Structure 1
């Protein structure tokens, strides 16, 4: 792989936890690193071009023969695909075998992977790997993976063998079940591409929490440069950690005792103190019935986490879809109605903020607003303000680009059928 020395160092440092928060044991986590000079990275999906994803198995155990007193080593699987459900599972299988038996296990794993068919959106693959047969559903772009749409039998699901490739092993519910009430605020922060710092007690929790937040606004594609796990050794550290206003991004440093000053207006999520620190006042109402149901299920210990995670994710998918209703309604008015069989292909009308706001006022939103906004007399319309902020952020530009491309493809398809 044609990685520069800087890129190689970034991968090595990021795959090695820089905070000794546990004495012995294994950690499985994922990283996202810039690899702009690598043809392998650039050949990935357009939205992910220039990045590589690393899936890490890190082992630490006491060893008096080593100067530091510990054996510490990481095995990293690199890919151009953000398959945070599939590849962590692979590395969790390979890691222990590799450290026990050495190079032959690595060669066997590579031979297995080399025989796999090429990935294809939405396809179900049977992937043999080190004596196991994994059934894997690959994601479709801008379409959330949910149990309701998967071909797997929900009542007989085997999460270790039947995998939705875009979902982390534990996920949103597992990492946020103690602070469920904060998720609606986090949804707004992610929706508006606000910079967020996630701090956690270990890289596994940190990386899964970050990718779960990136997924929370699905099917809106997140525009930011997020880092599931981030260390001070990363060459981009100084560009993130400074006195300037931070870029729209979400990343997760590990160091528990350090509070990096990522600009002056960052939102900080300290998972080890169970809370979110931010100056933003949320607009969207929490679903109290959902919170109650999930809380009771947590205490009861049933149904299993993967079912509760699906329920929670589906709620935010529905919330994001409700948010998109006015945008999709207005966007359809930009698509030409008549498609001539000959001559120039008609172009979409430009998106005009004032016209969208007029449409929003006329038809209204479908969002569940907090009761304080419904009762108080204020000159500020919270719904209008939320959409206004969204139209100014990178997530809107990414969504509009994706929506435009899809509409143009549909126009060409209609024209070819005439």
Structure 2
């Protein structure tokens, strides 16, 4: 099968599908991987095997779904998208920043089954089906596994082969388009959001799943309203009384560990925490499910250095001792009620029998929005539907994040040079440098207090944010976007200029003219620059005119091949 499938199309969505089983002598082992030619490093294999099984202390019986995140050891790609396929680069250009794929990380989506089986020496059947993908589409892949894994457990490896055949027929993951993804007799219908879609409609309220059937269709259609949105209310319900503090911790990239009894609880909680600052992209590391066997275990647990900016989800009680020095610890219990009461100091955490709650010495810069908490509590008392509770939370947090980011976006826009000052005879200008003191001076007149009802020390929160990786990555991304915009405007200015060729080349040597031609030609071919086709054509005409002023031998060399 491997030789006939266009695996580049398959890998536009999924890196591979694997099966991990428990060997009595070897422990967790990689039983099967599809496509079979996919190569995982020894480090990746080890992480995948250990992370695909719940910790032995979890006691998961039946079927359990959760997800993890690992470094892609086979590439040195960075957050800019290096080493990504053309399809994934195109996807990143259209989707919201928070949903962009990383070049050096993969997500693993796991469906684990543990049932008693007297015929086995261990007495239990233990096996996981997992999907490795770069996409943060938690809801989509969980639903795919709900169909794929039980079919595999009942009918064997042919099910995965059939699923792979279906997947290579899928359309490319293009944001803004309704995509129909057939798999094993069901069509998953999804819409990957675009930035424009989010601005127009806001984030979907909940990842509702609707199954539709029609006499004219041969397969049922499962519509997934959101491929990525977590159920905020359900995931964060136990710690909702501290939601604004948690938002600050995530916003500023503080190290957080989530301790939970089950892998799905800690994974979903980590995913929900990251989404609290949506649509801002969380740029620090995060591991929804983390074990003592992870190859990054030593890096993240050493006590000789401060904890790095990362959110870890763990289930092994051993971490209560190992991560006792971490500044922010969230303990999730068995029930889903809201834990009331004051924050617990992190230094007072007990090793194995700590009560659920938030353990931290952090002093928030912003006050709680008691009206939000009151609305949520009243909704619980009146048994308001969970999706409505999630919608209330999501809208509130998204508005809070946008109120925080709008002054930064406005200030960054003020650093752009005026278009009238862009000259065709000079190089493309650059944005002026970001000066924190100058920005802070704008807060009185245009700060977040104008759009948010929450009070507090906003300036202090901005100063802490400036020291985080979330700010540095946001600023670097915005600076690159601004630079591309100015390059595009500069090219438009050159295209529209009435260039007097002989006057322009007077006083310039041939090397300078050739260099100008080569640079301009290179910019014309760069598809990421925001210029229209008519502008490219005019620029090409300018190049041809200047090219004719050069000696014949140079013209021959510079003619495009």
TM-score range, shorter chain: 0.7 to 0.9
- How far residue 145 of structure 1 moved from its aligned partner, in angstroms, is 9.2
Name the structure 2 match of 1:88: 142
TM-score of the two chains, using structure 2 as the length reference: 0.67
Paired residue for 1:389, among 437, 455, 464?
A: 464
User: Does the C-alpha gap of structure 1 residues 42 and 80 become closer, same or farther in structure 2, counting only changes over 3 Å?
Assistant: farther
- How far residue 83 of structure 1 moved from its aligned partner, in angstroms, is 1.4
CA contact (8 A) 1:200 1:254 kept: yes
User: Does the C-alpha gap of structure 1 residues 404 and 39 become closer, same or farther in structure 2, counting only changes over 3 Å?
Assistant: closer
User: Does the C-alpha gap of structure 1 residues 57 and 175 become closer, same or farther in structure 2, counting only changes over 3 Å?
Assistant: same
Name the structure 2 match of 1:330: 411
User: Does the C-alpha gap of structure 1 residues 217 and 105 become closer, same or farther in structure 2, counting only changes over 3 Å?
Assistant: same
The yes-or-no answer on 1:357 pairing with 2:418 is no
- How far residue 262 of structure 1 moved from its aligned partner, in angstroms, is 3.4
d(CA) in 1 for partners of 2:63, 2:209 = 26
* Partner-residue secondary structure (3-state), 1:183: helix
The yes-or-no answer on 1:203 pairing with 2:278 is no
* Partner-residue secondary structure (3-state), 2:68: strand
User: Does the C-alpha gap of structure 1 residues 239 and 294 become closer, same or farther in structure 2, counting only changes over 3 Å?
Assistant: same
TM-score of the two chains, using structure 1 as the length reference: 0.88
Name the structure 1 match of 2:308: 247
CA contact (8 A) 1:283 1:369 kept: no
Task: Report how many aligned residue pairs link the two structures.
Answer: 402
The yes-or-no answer on 1:73 pairing with 2:100 is no
Paired residue for 2:297, among 214, 220, 237?
A: 237
Please provide the CA RMSD for this pair. 2.7
Name the structure 1 match of 2:369: 287
CA contact (8 A) 2:176 2:197 kept: no
The yes-or-no answer on 1:15 pairing with 2:52 is yes
- How far residue 122 of structure 1 moved from its aligned partner, in angstroms, is 2.9
d(CA) in 2 for partners of 1:301, 1:146 = 30
d(CA) in 2 for partners of 1:313, 1:337 = 37
Paired residue for 1:344, among 406, 427, 435?
A: 427
CA contact (8 A) 1:196 1:251 kept: yes
Moved more, 20-29 or 202-211: 20-29
d(CA) in 2 for partners of 1:157, 1:265 = 38
d(CA) in 1 for partners of 2:423, 2:162 = 57
Q: Deviations over 1:305-334 (max 9, x none)?
A: 233223211211110010112212211111
User: Does the C-alpha gap of structure 1 residues 29 and 42 become closer, same or farther in structure 2, counting only changes over 3 Å?
Assistant: farther
Structure showing greater Rg: 2
Moved more, 402-411 or 185-194: 402-411
What runs of 5+ residues in structure 2 fail to find an aligned partner?
1-37, 93-99, 212-221, 334-354, 494-561
* Partner-residue secondary structure (3-state), 2:309: coil
User: Does the C-alpha gap of structure 1 residues 144 and 227 become closer, same or farther in structure 2, counting only changes over 3 Å?
Assistant: farther
Paired residue for 2:388, among 284, 307, 312?
A: 307
- How far residue 342 of structure 1 moved from its aligned partner, in angstroms, is 4.7
The yes-or-no answer on 1:135 pairing with 2:189 is yes
Name the structure 1 match of 2:180: 126
The yes-or-no answer on 1:35 pairing with 2:72 is yes
* Partner-residue secondary structure (3-state), 1:55: strand
Name the structure 1 match of 2:532: none
Name the structure 1 match of 2:244: 184
d(CA) in 1 for partners of 2:314, 2:196 = 27
Paired residue for 2:475, among 366, 382, 400?
A: 400
CA contact (8 A) 1:31 1:228 kept: yes
* Partner-residue secondary structure (3-state), 2:288: strand
User: Does the C-alpha gap of structure 1 residues 413 and 51 become closer, same or farther in structure 2, counting only changes over 3 Å?
Assistant: same
- How far residue 368 of structure 1 moved from its aligned partner, in angstroms, is 4.2
Moved more, 80-89 or 27-36: 80-89
d(CA) in 2 for partners of 1:268, 1:42 = 35
- How far residue 289 of structure 1 moved from its aligned partner, in angstroms, is 2.5
Q: Deviations over 1:52-75 (max 9, x none)?
A: 111100001112233332211111
Q: Deviations over 1:196-236 (max 9, x none)?
A: 00111211111111111111112221121100100001010
The yes-or-no answer on 1:175 pairing with 2:235 is yes
- How far residue 77 of structure 1 moved from its aligned partner, in angstroms, is 0.5
The yes-or-no answer on 1:164 pairing with 2:226 is yes
Moved more, 231-240 or 338-347: 338-347
d(CA) in 2 for partners of 1:14, 1:2 = 18
CA contact (8 A) 2:366 2:458 kept: no
User: Does the C-alpha gap of structure 1 residues 231 and 144 become closer, same or farther in structure 2, counting only changes over 3 Å?
Assistant: farther
